[in-house]
């Protein structure tokens, strides 16, 4: 069974703090990793798609890294703002030729002014 | 706005009934995916269609079925509904059928089974 795990489950930070979360996935059966941002009452919004070991992606104040050998990815937010408050989901696509996104439970971020 | 549309937005029905959820992908996208978000579970992959053909299947119940039509819209049919089928159902679409394709999610259909 392929499990994608995210930690921490929730996080409260102050405006201006930088923060990071972890996504772990089985490294033995990996093809791609997707990160999503999911605000309450909206639909998940794609942030990054990553495939290569050592890959780094950046979008504004948000960046992500990928380690496929040890099976983890980090998502970083620099200088958190209240509008960054959301649940951040990662999803792994295992090898095998199918595009099933296997989602983690998410990290719920609350940024307090 | 992702460009993916889903109807209806909310659906309330009774146990034993059958419902149909509809999804229109982004213009030009060939793949449609269905996901279920239950209260006690994360987003679960149900099924994928690519250009009208079933491409991948997740833990989709036998009471559930889906199809993708020639105009590429998709429908998810849920029958003999049970209380546990109450969930948020998302449709997503991507341009092709590659693992690196971004999947764009629709606004979801919230199904409540009473």
**Per-residue tens of pLDDT for chain A, all 113 residues:** 458 999 999 999 999 999 999 999 998 888 999 999 999 889 999 999 999 999 999 999 999 999 999 999 999 999 999 999 999 999 999 887 677 899 999 999 999 99
Question: What's the confidence (pLDDT) of residue A3?
Answer: 86
Does the beta carbon of A104 lie under 8 angstroms from any beta carbon of chain B? yes
- A6 CB-near residues (< 8 Å, 6+ apart): A21, A22, A23, A24, A88, A89, A90, A104, A105, A106, A107
Does the beta carbon of A43 lie under 8 angstroms from any beta carbon of chain B? yes
Q: Which residues does chain B have within 8 Å of residue A44's beta carbon, measured at their own beta carbons?
A: 43, 90, 105
pLDDT in tens, B6-44: 999 999 999 999 999 999 999 999 999 999 999 878 899
Question: What's the confidence (pLDDT) of residue A97?
Answer: 65
**Which residue, B20, B11, B30, is CA-closest to B104?**
B30
Pairing of strands B31-37, B87-94: antiparallel
Q: Which residues does chain A have within 8 Å of residue B107's beta carbon, measured at their own beta carbons?
A: 42-43
- B99 CB-near residues (< 8 Å, 6+ apart): A31, A32, A51, A93, A99
Do residues B2 and B106 lie in contact, with contact meaning Cβ atoms separated by under 8 Å?
yes
Cα angle B22-B36-A88, degrees, rounded to a multiple of 5:
115
Averaged pLDDT, B99-110: 94
Chain A, chain B: beta-carbon pairs less than 8 Å apart: 62
Q: Which residues does chain A have within 8 Å of residue B29's beta carbon, measured at their own beta carbons?
A: none
| Separation in Å, CA of A51 to nearest CA in chain B | 8
- Residue B109, pLDDT > 90, answer yes
Mean predicted lDDT score pLDDT of chain B: 95
Averaged pLDDT, B86-104: 94
The rounded distance, in Å, linking the Cα atoms of A70 and B29 is: 34
Averaged pLDDT, B50-59: 93
Question: What's the confidence (pLDDT) of residue A1?
Answer: 40
Question: What's the confidence (pLDDT) of residue A75?
Answer: 98
């Amino acid at each position: 069974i392929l499990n994608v795990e995210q930690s921490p489950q929730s996080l409260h930070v102050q405006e201006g703090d930088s923060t990071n979360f972890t996504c772990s996935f089985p490294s033995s059966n990996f093809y791609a990793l997707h990160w999503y941002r999911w605000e309450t009452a909206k639909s998940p919004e794609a942030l990054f798609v990553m495939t290569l070991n050592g890959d780094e992606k950046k979008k504004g104040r948000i960046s992500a890294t990928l380690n496929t050998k040890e099976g983890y990815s980090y998502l970083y937010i620099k200088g958190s703002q209240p509008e960054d408050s959301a649940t951040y989901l990662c999803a792994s696509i295992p090898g095998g030729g199918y595009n099933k996104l296997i989602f983690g439970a998410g990290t719920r971020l609350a940024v307090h002014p | 706005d992702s460009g993916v549309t889903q109807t209806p937005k909310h659906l309330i029905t009774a146990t034993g009934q059958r419902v149909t959820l509809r999804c229109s992908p982004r213009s030009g996208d060939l793949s449609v995916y269905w996901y279920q978000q239950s209260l006690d579970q994360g987003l679960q992959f149900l099924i994928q269609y690519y250009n009208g053909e079933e491409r991948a299947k997740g833990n989709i119940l036998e009471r559930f079925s889906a199809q993708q039509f020639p105009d590429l819209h998709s429908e998810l049919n849920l029958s003999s509904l049970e209380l546990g089928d109450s969930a948020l159902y998302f449709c997503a679409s991507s341009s092709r059928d590659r693992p690196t394709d971004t999947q764009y999610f629709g606004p979801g259909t919230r199904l409540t089974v009473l």
